[in-house]
Structures are given as structure tokens and as C-alpha cells.
Amino acid sequence: MTSTAQPFAPYHQLHRGGTSVILDATTAGMPTIIHWGPDTGELNESELQDLASAARPQRVSGGIDQPARLDVFPQERFGWQHGPALEGHRASRSWATALTTKGIQASEHGLSISADDPVAHLKLVTELELSANGILSQRHTLTNTGSDAYLVNRLSVVFPLPHTATTIQDSTGRHLKERSAQRRPLTIGSHVRESRRGRPGADASLLMLAGEARFAHRSGLVHGVHLAWSGNHRLSAERTITSDNFITAGELLLPGELSLEPGGSYSTPWAFGSWGHGLDQLSARFHRDLRARPQHPRTPRPVTLNTWEAVYFDHDLQTLKELADQAAVVGVERFVLDDGWFNGRRDDTAGLGDWFVDPAVWPQGLSPIIDHVAGLGMEFGLWFEPEMVNPDSDLARSHPDWILHTADRWPVSARQQQVLNMAHPDCYTYLLERIDSLLTQYPISYIKWDHNRDLLEASHADSGTAAVRETTLALYRLLGELKSRHPHLEIESCASGGARVDLGILEHTDRIWTSDCIDPIERLDNQENTNLLVPYELLGAHIGGPRSHSTGRKHDLGFMARTAIFGHFGIEWNIAGIDEKLCAELARWVDFHKENRGLFHGGDSVHADHPDPAIDIRGVVATDASRAVFAFTLREASITYPAGRFTLPGLDPHAKYRVRLSEPLNDAVGNGQSALSWAQISHVLSGTVLETTGMQSPVLFPEQSVLIMLDRHEA
């Protein structure tokens, strides 16, 4: 967009995508966001002045004479008595800044606010942009104008919250159970979520959410913030004794990690804020923005078979050919060879880092399996873990200086691995050459890019200084360079499953692996909470074998398929030996996904708020509301029997819909007369009735589900 210089007006407005952002630039220090949320419409100067006046805090007994404002860059100089936006110093000096607005430049949908502190010798530019779908993005750029170094300890962006935000929700987790939601009241003080794992981590919070007391998917005003960064980070939700509610987001900098030399600058990662009347509306803004990106996948997402849970490290050519043959029969479109193809890699204790095809396993190279897969009409993908190294590898023995460590001691190992310093120029060059060479030699259209351990004591070997930030930026550069050299390459981000899910990594990759756990019961929560930010087409969702490798639970094929069907669909299972009946059933599910993936990967994600926690109802509604598919799942035995009525949200209230159970049916419905009647009838109901009055639930066993298809009914 073209920027034009504007007078330093006292008030500024941004209106787009149903969102308004209004700033008061008359406040001391930096401007204050006095409204972020539902569209107010364009306000005139008098209305803006009155709004700003009504928002000014009152002086109270025992307080300071000029009450502080929660502006876009809170500083102690202007009365702020809580965590400042900037923490830093110049050899213990210049720690108390007085950055003051010097100019505001407006573009069509954004603002660039410049500020200066001539005493601390710092300049700041704060950028705010409002997307076509109403997402507010912010970042700061700090420049050292002094003659000596300025050490940055912390630099955060701030998103104000309405006074109705009394409840917060974030997510936590572990390997095999990422992104589990947790709630608590937003009380006075700070609720801080930090990631110090060198990646977001399985326990990271994807979003910091704050809203009305009982906000849910379809109700309650709620705001949320995400930081687009794949390294250490910090999110907080805070409430002050003066009733300021806000969320902060920023990179978590390790001691001494960021020193600005004279003339040097630092830009924070972009932070993205969304809001909605319910989580579905908040999520829809993120999804629509991501789908509008120029690099967003435009072709149908190929049905994928990954070999990991099928064969693990047993790379036998005949076995893999038989697996590929069966994959082609059921309709798979992409075959991905996982870990175990490179030098010395017979288990997870050795070989990592030696990215040469192992002649002991593949005496003719990868051509025999790639040619076989291509002959069956499928794409070929290959697994890498470039950021890691086994100490038992030629790479580690030859270049210990390429490994992140401190003071001649190795960090505590994890999965028998250490971490490479991709910011080391020679290490970066080696990784680029090895991966590029294989992509050039073979017709590989897809990389599964893994990252199987947290970082500990991540330091440059020569200087001993912290290296998380630099290695994260090197990762982005490497991914970008590979995409530049191989424009049709797609990359999946996997990190012990779902330990690196953020919009920073998704700027350079084409999907994320949501979790190493593909047990469908566990995946219900995982996929729901990941889908708050990530649309289904970027969310890897596979069918596993009859018994889950991570939980030991057994589920039938239909239940697994209905849980995975909306996402970037695939199979993680040795299907080479399944019988004809099971093969035919799997093929029907693959066909069903292909027939509907345009809806699943372009429609709006919706979730019904059912009062019974045993019942899960989610679906996708076409953007024109002409059709929809919902999954109705009974997680566990309900207290009531039958479960009573349920509603289907997100439809056109004025349209009528034909409602029926969707094929393939299998045996999901069939333990009572109510289920039989459900399977045999077709309802015609209005969108209003479906969202408000609803229908009686089908009768299911616990851990069963059905798919419900809706099509606009033309009388």
C-alpha cells in the first residue's frame, strides 16, 4: 500500500473487516488505543474527542497526580507502574526511557508511529496494521542512536482489552497431548506464559484469550493474541489495580542475547490480535487472513500416507513397494518416506546429521522406491530433521563446533540428540547443500521437516553467548532458500508432533503435524484448539491403525476417519496387509474426503456449544452457506440417554436445509431404534430452527460418531 504523510492529528481511526481501532495521540509518551473491537463506524472529530475524554483515567487518592495511560508503549516515565514495554540498559544507564511520539504516518489500513528519546539515544517505530478480515497486527522496531551498545532484555507489544474481559484461556500440554485448554479468572496481576525451549514447545500457548465470563464458540465477546515466532516467547494477560486489562506478546530474550550496537535495530516478531462474538468468529478472521496469503496452498491438499507408524526404521524395499501399492488402491496421492533412509540410521541413536542415502539399505539409492511411487501416480515425500544431530554421527565427530553448547560441556541430551547451530555459516552451508542436492537428484515434492527435542543451554560454541534467536532466524532463511530453489516444494513442520505451531513457521511451510498422537479421542481436543488459529487445510490429520501406538486404545476405522476427515487428510498405518473389506472401506473414506475437501479446506469452521461435555459437535459450513458437513461425536457415556437435542450453528437462518446422515455410514449408528430412524429419514429444516431448536441426537455408543450432511433445499 502507498503511504502518505499526514499531519500529526490528535486522533486516528482504522476500520476494516468488521473491526475498528481508534487511537488517542494526545496522551503523554505514545498514543493510546482507546478502542479495539467491533466496528464503530467512522466517527467525526467531536465524537472522537468525546470518546477520548470519556476514556481518560481519574486521579485517585494515594495515586500519582497524572494517572498513567495504557498506551502502545507503556513506560515508567509517564507514570506506568507495571511491566514496561521495553526493558534494557546501556551499561546500567538509560534503563528508564522517555520515548515520545514525533510523528504518525498513515497508510490506507495502517499507522506507523515514530518516537524518540534523545537522552537515552533511542528511536522507536511502532507499526499497526488492520487486515481485510479485521486482524490487528503490531510490531516495534527499536534503533540505537547512541555511541555505545544498548542491551535489550525485553520488548513487547500491547493489546488493550475491554472491561468485560474477566476470563482468560490459554493452552498447555506435553508430547502426545499438545494444546489442552485451561481457564482461570483474569484477576489483578499477571498471568504469564513463557517458552524457554528454543521452540514454542508442546506446552506452549497458541493464543492468549480473554473474554466475557462464559465465552464459548458461539457466544461471548472474546479477544485473542498470537505471536508469530518459532523461538522463545512470552505472552501475558494482565489486569491492574486501576482496571486496565491487556495482553502483551514478545520474544523471550535470553541474557545478553540481543545487544544493539550503535546504529543497530531490532524488530519484534509480528503479534496478531483477533476478536469475535464467540471463538468461531475470532478464528474465522485468522483463517481468512491465512487463506488470503499469496503463498497459501491453492491446489487440493493431497491425501498422504506417511510410513512412520507403518514400518518405523524397517526400510525394506519390497515391504515399502507393497505399502505403496495398497496406498494407490485406496486413493492416496502422496507417499512420504519417514526416518531411517540415511547413513547409519537403524534406530534413533545414530546417524542423525549424515544426510546421505545409506547404501546398506538403499544400494541403488532412492530411485527404486521413488520410481515405483511415481509409477502409481503418487507424489513422493521425504523426512528430514536438519536442526538436530546424534553424537554418534560422522557430522558430530567432524564438527563438534557446529553443535550448540556452553563451556566445553554438552547440554543434557534428549532422544539421544544434540542441536546444530544453523547460525554457524559452515553448518548452514552444509545443510543447504545436502538437502538441495537430494531435492535436485530426486523428484521429491514434499519434505517432512522434523524437530524432535527442546533446546537447552543453546549457546554459540566459540563465544558462549545465547543463540536461540539467531538459530530461529537461520531456520527461516534456510526454509526460504530451499523454497526459492525449488518453487514447487511443500514442507511440513513437525516438532515432536505439535511442538512448533505458530504463524512464524507457517510463513515458510505448508502444513503442521498437529500431534504424534493420532488416537481420535485425543485428537478431538488437540485439533479443536489448534484450529482456533490454523485452518484445516494446514492441519495434518491422519487415520492410524486399529490400536493407537500412543495410547493403546482401539477404535474402528469409521471413528478414526470422522475425526480426521476435515483436516489435511492422511494415513499413518501399515495398510499393506489389510483385507479387501477394510481396504474398500478405507477407499470410501478417501473418496469422501476428496469429494468434500473443497468445503473442508475453504469453508468456515464451526462448533456447537452443547451443555453435555460428552457430546462434541463440529463442522464446516460453505462460505455461501449452501452446504455443510458436521461430525457428531459421543466422547463418553452421557448421563442422559438418549442425549437430547442438539443444534447446528453457522447456517443461513433464512434457508432451508435437507439434513441426513452422510455416507459412508459403516456401523456407527445401530444400537437402538432411535439410531435406525435417524439413519432412515431425511429432515428439511430452516437454518434458524437448526441453530435454535435443533433435533434429537442419534443414539451412539461411547467413542462413536456420525457425519451429518446438509444441503440447501430448494422448494
Residue 497 lies in a domain: yes
Q: Name the active-site residue from 24, 116, 289, 450.
A: 450
* DSSP 8-state symbol, 406: B
Residue 680 has pLDDT above 90, yes or no: no
Burial bucket for residue 524 (CB in 10 Å: 0-12, 13-18, 19+): middle
Provide mean pLDDT across the span 109-131: 98
Cβ atoms of 701 and 636 closer than 8 Å: no
Predicted pLDDT at 662: 81
Q: How confident is the model at residue 677 (pLDDT cuts 50, 70, 90)?
A: low
Q: Average of pLDDT values for 291-319?
A: 98
Which of 57-61, 113-117, 335-339, 498-502 has the least mean pLDDT?
Answer: 57-61
So what's the pLDDT on residue 673? 40
Mean pLDDT, the chain, rounded, equals 95
Is-catalytic flag, 450? yes
Convert 437-449 to b/e letters by CB count within 10 Å (16 or more is b).
ebbeebebbbbbb
Compute the distance between CA of residue 243 and CA of residue 548 in angstroms, rounded to an integer: 48
Question: Are both 348 and 311 inside the same structural domain?
Answer: yes
Does residue 456 carry a pLDDT above 80?
yes
pLDDT score recorded for residue 643? 86
pLDDT tens-digit map of 320-330: 999 999 999 99
Q: Assess contact for 342 and 450: CB atoms under 8 A.
A: no
DSSP code at position 635? -
Are 677 and 593 part of one and the same domain? no
- For residue 44, the SS3 value is coil
Q: What is the pLDDT of residue 173?
A: 98
Cα separation, 259 vs 706, whole angstroms: 57
How large is the average pLDDT for residues 405-432? Answer: 96
Kindly state whether residue 34 falls inside one of the protein's structural domains: no
What is the b/e burial string over 122-150, where b = at least 16 CB atoms within 10 angstroms of the residue's CB? Answer: bbbbbbbbbbebbbbbbbbbbbbbbeeeb
pLDDT at 671 over 90: no
CATH number at residue 344: 3.20.20.70
The predicted model gives 610-634 an average pLDDT of 97
CATH of the domain at 661: 2.60.40.1180
pLDDT at residue 134 in the model: 98
398 contacts: CB under 8 Å, gap ≥ 6: none
Instruction: Single out the residue of 450, 390, 452 nearest to residue 175, CA to CA.
Output: 452
In a shared domain, residues 522 and 619? no
User: Is residue 674 predicted with pLDDT exceeding 80?
Assistant: no
In angstroms, the CA 297 to CA 261 distance is: 40
Domain for residue 24, yes or no? no
End-to-end C-alpha distance for the chain, whole angstroms: 47
Is the same domain home to 698 and 635? yes
Which residue is listed with cell 502409481?
376
- For residue 570, give Cα distances in angstroms to 327, 333, 518, 643, 694: 10, 9, 11, 31, 32
Q: Are residues 385 and 406 in the same domain?
A: yes
Q: Which amino acid is at 706?
A: V
Q: Is the pLDDT of residue 5 over 90?
A: no
pLDDT band at 642 (very low <50, low <70, confident <90, very high): confident
List the domain range (segments joined by +) for residue 708. 608-712
Indicate whether 3 pLDDT > 80.
Answer: no
Q: Answer whether residue 669 shows pLDDT above 80.
A: no
DSSP 450-516: ---S---S-B-TTT--B-HHHHHHHHHHHHHHHHHHSTT-EEEE-BTTBS--STTGGGT-SEEE--S
CA atoms of 444 and 491, how far apart (whole Å): 11
- Under the phi-then-psi rule, with left for phi > 0, alpha for psi from -120 to 50, and beta for the rest, what region is 224? beta
Q: What is the pLDDT of residues 519-557, one digit of tens each?
A: 999 999 999 999 999 999 999 999 999 999 999 999 999
Q: How far apart are CA 693 and CA 651, in angstroms?
A: 13
Is residue 54 in a domain?
no
Output the pLDDT for position 407. Answer: 87
User: Whole-model pTM?
Assistant: 0.97
Comparing CA positions, the residue from 450, 528, 427, 505 lying closest to residue 233 is: 505
Q: What percent of the chain has pLDDT over 90?
A: 93
Task: Pick the last residue of a domain from 235, 270, 291.
Answer: 291
625 falls within a domain: yes
Residues 538 and 576 in one domain: yes
Please tell me the total count of domains within the chain: 3
CB 109 within 8 A of CB 16: yes
Q: What is the CATH number of the domain that holds 275?
A: 2.70.98.60
Per the residue annotation, which of 289, 516, 519, 616 is the catalytic one?
A: 516
- Check whether 679 has a pLDDT greater than 70: no
- C-alpha–C-alpha distance, residues 650 and 643, integer Å: 22
Cα angle for residues 154, 158, 162 (degrees, 5° grid): 150
| Domain match, 256 and 118 both | yes
Same domain for 384 and 240 = no
Hey, which residues does 606 pair with through a beta bridge?
Answer: 619
CB environment 272-302: b (16+ within 10 A), e (fewer):
bbbbbbbbbbbbbbbbbbbbeeeeebeeebb
Return the DSSP state at 664.
Answer: P
Geometric angle at alpha carbon 438, from 435 and 443, rounded to 5°: 125
- 119 or 668, higher pLDDT: 119
Q: Which of 599, 622, 657 is the last residue of a domain?
A: 599
Beta bridge partners of residue 498, listed in sequence order: 495
Q: What is the DSSP letter of 26?
A: T
Q: Is the pLDDT of residue 448 over 50?
A: yes
Domain boundary, last residue among 291, 320, 347: 291
Residues forming beta bridges with residue 138, ordered by sequence position = 128, 271
- Same structural domain, 98 and 192: yes
Same domain, 501 and 390: yes
User: Residue 440: which H helix or E strand, with range?
Assistant: helix 425-441
Residue 32 lies in a domain: no
Residues 6+ apart with CB under 8 A from 288: 132, 133
- pLDDT at residue 675 greater than cutoff 50: no
21 lies in some domain:
no
Find residue 114's DSSP bridge partners.
103, 125
C-alpha of 686 from chain center: 35
Q: Is residue 137 part of a domain?
A: yes
At 294, is the secondary structure helix, strand, or coil?
coil
User: Are both 270 and 362 inside the same structural domain?
Assistant: no
What are 353's strand-pairing partners?
none
Q: What is the pLDDT of residues 145-157, one digit of tens each?
A: 999 999 999 999 9
DSSP character string of 66-123? S-----SS--GGGT--S--SEEEEBTTBS-S---EEEEEEEETTEEEEEEEETTTTEE
d(CA 677, CA 686): 20
Q: Check residue 672 and give its pLDDT.
A: 45
Query: 654 phi and psi, to 5 degrees?
Result: -95, -10
Whether residue 444 sits in one domain with residue 355: yes
Cell readout for 365 is 539409492
